[in-house]
Amino acid sequence: MSDSLRILWLKTGPLHPVDTGGKIRTYNMLRELRKRNPLTYLSLWPAGTPESARKDALEYSDTQTWIPWSETRKGSPGFFAELAANYFLTDLPYALHKYRSAAWAQAMAEADASGKFDLIVCDFLTPGVALFTEGRRPRTPVLLFQHNVESLIWQRHFETAQGAVKRFYLRDQWQRTVRQESLYCSLADKVCTVSEEDARMLRDQFKLDNLVGAVPTGVNLDFFQFSTMPRTSHSLVFLGSMDWMPNIDGCRWFADEIWSLVKQKFPDATLTIVGRKPGPKIQELAARDASIRVTGTVDDVRPHLAAGEVMVVPLRVGGGTRIKIFEAMATGIPCVSTRIGAEGLPVNHGEHIALADTPADFAREISSLFESADRRRAFGQNARDLVEKNFGWASINAVFERYCHATVAAKRRS
């Protein structure tokens, strides 16, 4: 695998600020990948992006092409008009339709036709709306990097939704996503996922024969170091992008169904919700309960992980794998998660993490950790040992790089 590849990487926006799980995974992988492979980054440039992101892109790519794009503000009249137009005038799910851009599609087509690239990486499903326009299959080998099974996320949104209208809409979006995800996976030369569980689901649902494998979740072990600082008694931390629907749903479920059970036993308990762009539904949690704090965007999550006694991951909806769990594990803070929250990660209940899916069980696991310093220390050390031994980004990228070469080789043989 000594030969380098000229790689065209497709993305819906620049990576800075590196403040979401998807950005963290891509950023760390690209920094490793470009050490051996010339890398061009072809991306949308969302309106309002800081100009500093252009210079920052040199950290993870050699050259860049930016396509101007703007997103309609959620909740605005234009947003609801777009939803209506999407529903009546197209078969695409809105989460893909909003990224349609003739200029982006043209830039991809020209890059594909140029012969300058050995491989195209479609990062997440979303660039597929431009790459595979009208069912087009590029001449350059394409590796579709699936951070999630997107249709599964929408299925879980539908299954947990309340209200007939909302359920009707979410079921429609789920079915649309199933169709497009199946199509884009079939048009790519190879598909890789972030867990064996996701690979199995794609294989079973779409009958794919082009799955090349799974890329494990990694963590920056130098940045996220084991913390020996004293932790705040009876403090909980939630970490995640607060403009992502599964995180919003999880925090609200925790506050509505679990928090009162914790407070009954530990009246002094606190919950800190750390993550970018918290909307009104999250801000409302802090407004109604003084023991809940919402930080909004923070420059560095590590102080919050170091101060908390337990991290919670109460997700009922989601796909892929949660990088934030590995980040927390690297710092030694014990985690309590739903099984969906920890889905796809090679962690064992009672050894590296506590898993619970009902409010009563979730509160019980938190209580057990609050009450036992020995259990907290054991979880923290076991978790750090696991990620330190197996999940540094250099070893993770070696797996991904093999998949890149396998994609090119498969195209040459076909």
Domains of the chain and CATH, by start: 7-218+393-413 (3.40.50.2000), 235-390 (3.40.50.2000)
Where would I find the beta strands (DSSP E) of 341-395? 354-355
**Model pLDDT, residue 368:** 97
CA of residue 316 relative to chain centroid, distance? 15
Q: How far apart are CA 391 and CA 264, in angstroms?
A: 38
Which of 332, 350, 336 is closest to 236 using CA atoms?
Answer: 336
Count of CA atoms in the C-beta half-sphere (13 A) of 32? 19
Q: How would DSSP label each residue in 188-202?
A: SSEEEESSHHHHHHH
Q: How far apart are CA 296 and CA 275, in angstroms?
A: 5
Q: How far apart are CA 374 and CA 206, in angstroms?
A: 46
Q: How far apart are CA 386 and CA 86, in angstroms?
A: 45
Residue with tokens 């024969």: 209
From first CA to last CA, the distance across the chain in angstroms is 20
**Model pLDDT, residue 72:** 92
| Strand partners of residue 122 | 10, 144
Q: How far apart are CA 229 and CA 223, in angstroms?
A: 16
For residue 244, pLDDT over 90 is answered with: no
- Written as six digits, the tokens of 320 are 């892929």
Are the CB atoms for 173 and 153 separated by under 8 Å? no
Which of 391, 271, 276, 383 is closest to 333 using CA atoms?
Answer: 383
Q: Could you read off the pLDDT of 5-36 as tens digits, one per residue?
A: 999 999 999 999 998 889 999 999 999 999 99
For residue 1, pLDDT over 80 is answered with: no
For residue 52, pLDDT over 90 is answered with: yes
pTM, two decimals, is 0.83
**Model pLDDT, residue 322:** 85
Q: Could you read off the pLDDT of 127-170 as tens digits, one per residue?
A: 999 999 988 999 999 999 999 999 999 999 999 999 999 999 99
Q: How would DSSP label each residue in 236-305?
A: EEEES-TTSHHHHHHHHHIIIIIHHHHHHH-TT-EEEEE-S---HHHHHHHHH-TTEEEEES-S-SHHHH
Q: Could you read off the pLDDT of 90-136 as tens digits, one per residue?
A: 999 999 999 999 999 999 999 999 999 999 999 999 999 999 998 89
Which residues have C-beta within 8 Å of that of residue 202, sequence separation ≥ 6? 146, 149, 185, 191, 193, 208, 211
